[in-house]
Structure formats: structure tokens, C-alpha cells
Amino acid sequence: MKKVVLGSLIVVLSSCSGGKNSTGFSIINDMMYSEAYEAQTVNNVFDNGQTNQLAPKGTVARGFKPHPMDDEGNPIVLKNPHVMTDYAWERGKMLFEATCSACHGTKGKADGLVVLEGGFPKPPSFSARKWKKAKKYPSGYVYNVITFGYGNMASHAQQLYPKDRWYVSEFVREKLMKKKKRK
Ligand code: HEC
């Protein structure tokens, strides 16, 4: 009995030596040392010798749906797949004011501070006559401008999720591009 106690005491104590960051004495090493490679390092496992690999051709990131394109590679104008609830209108308005109004102005009259004070090229006013043509410029048109950018305006796909882009697009289309007073 004494031998067993002494023996286990030695094992227990010897595994504590070496301070906080030491893995101590180990018999089976498999899980002590990680075999994972660091990103941005050389790697002999792959033919191109690097750890970071590109996604295989033709694959799509989870949760990401590519925008359908026509034969010339231009984005197809889609229809809003989401129901516009009161919440959706409110959110569209809120996100327009947060993401777009710095240039376009809260009423879409191209009088945002970035334009007036910052000297950024002036966007077209959303109350211009041409935008009344809802058939030619549906919410899907605005959606594509947000997603891919247009001329001097960069893509805002990084700032807004696809669903929120639709909410903003509907708000711009229905509340700013029409004569109707805003809700
Ligand atoms: C940094 C300033 C800036 C921000 C922010 C911005 N825009 Fe623009 N936008 C522009 C400019 C400048 C143009 C005109 C581009 C051109 O004609 O070269 C434009 C053009 C547009 C057009 C008209 C495109 C056309 O066919 O003439 C729409 C629609 C539009 N923006 C929507 C939005 C929406 C929606 C947002 C917010 C998600 C947004 N913009 C954010 C600067 C901005």
C-alpha cells in the first residue's frame, strides 16, 4: 500500500514541475504538440508549397448566393424576394440614413455632407424625373447599384446584408424616387 501511495505521489508531483506554461512530463505525446500549420507559412503537404489554399474552383462560400449574371457578365435585375412588413420599411429607412445619406442626403436630394463639405462627386437626386419610371428603374435596379456600385459610387455590399439591401432598395424606390410624401 505504501509503495502505491509513494509511486503515485511521484507521478503527480513530477507532472507539476516546469511552471504554468509547461506541458510537464508526458508519456503519450500525440496531443501535446499541435501539428496544425500556421497560416501564411510554407507547407510541403501542398503542391504549391503554401498553407493558405484558395477555395476549389466552382465552390461557393456557405450562406453566400452568387448574383445571377447574363451572358455578357452583367448582373441580372432581380425582384425583391422579401415581404415588406412595417419593420422592413422602418429598417430600410434607418439603414438608408446610416449608409447612404452621407452622400445622398436623408431625402435623397444629393445634399449629404460628404458631397457638400467633402467635395465628393454629386450623385443624382432621387427626386429627378427620370426615377419616376418605376418599370425602367425597379427596386432590383437600386439593389444592383448597392451591390455592385455605379460609376463614382463604390459597391456597398460589404456594408449591408442582401436582405437589408432589399429593404433599402424598396425604401429608395418607393419613398424617395416617387412624388408621394415619405411615411
Ligand atoms: C460616398 C458617397 C455615396 C454613398 C455612401 C452612396 N452613394 Fe449612391 N451614388 C453616389 C454617387 C457619386 C453616385 C453617382 C455615380 C455616377 O454617376 O458616377 C451615386 C449613384 C447612386 C444611384 C443612381 C445610379 C444611376 O443609375 O445613376 C443610386 C440608385 C444610388 N447611388 C443608391 C445608393 C444607395 C441605396 C446607397 C446606400 C446603400 C448609396 N447610394 C450610397 C455616391 C454615394
pLDDT digits (tens, 9 = 90+) for 91-128: 999 999 999 999 999 999 999 999 999 999 999 999 99
149-154 contact pairs (CB < 8 A, 24+): 152/120, 152/121, 152/123, 153/103, 153/123
In this predicted structure, what is the pLDDT of residue 179? Answer: 61
Task: Choose among 97, 47, 73, 49: nearest CA to 148.
Answer: 73
- Among the ranges given (13-22, 27-36, 74-83, 137-146), the one the predictor scored with the smallest mean pLDDT: 13-22
CA distance 78 to 92: 18
Amino acid at 168: V
Spatial CB neighbours of 139, under 8 Å, sequence gap ≥ 6: 79, 80, 166, 169, 170, 172, 173, 174
Residue of 104, 137, 164, 173 to test ligand 1 pocket, by largest number of atoms within 8 Å of CB: 104
Among 55-59, 61-65, 154-158, top mean pLDDT goes to 154-158
Confidence of residue 29 (pLDDT cuts 50, 70, 90): confident
CA distance 122 to 115: 6
Atom index in ligand 1 nearest the CA of residue 142 equals 29
* Per-residue pLDDT tens digits for 71-88: 999 999 999 999 999 999
Whether 18 is in the pocket of ligand 1, judged by its Cβ within 6 Å, is no
Is the pLDDT confidence value at 182 over 50? Answer: no
- Among the ranges given (25-29, 57-61, 145-149), the one the predictor scored with the smallest mean pLDDT: 25-29
For residue 92, give the C-alpha cell. 430600410
Whether 176 is in the pocket of ligand 1, judged by its Cβ within 6 Å, is no
Count of beta carbons in the 10 Å neighbourhood of residue 162: 15
Q: What are phi and psi of 90, to 5 degrees?
A: -60, -45
| Residue 59 Cα to ligand 1 middle (Å) | 31
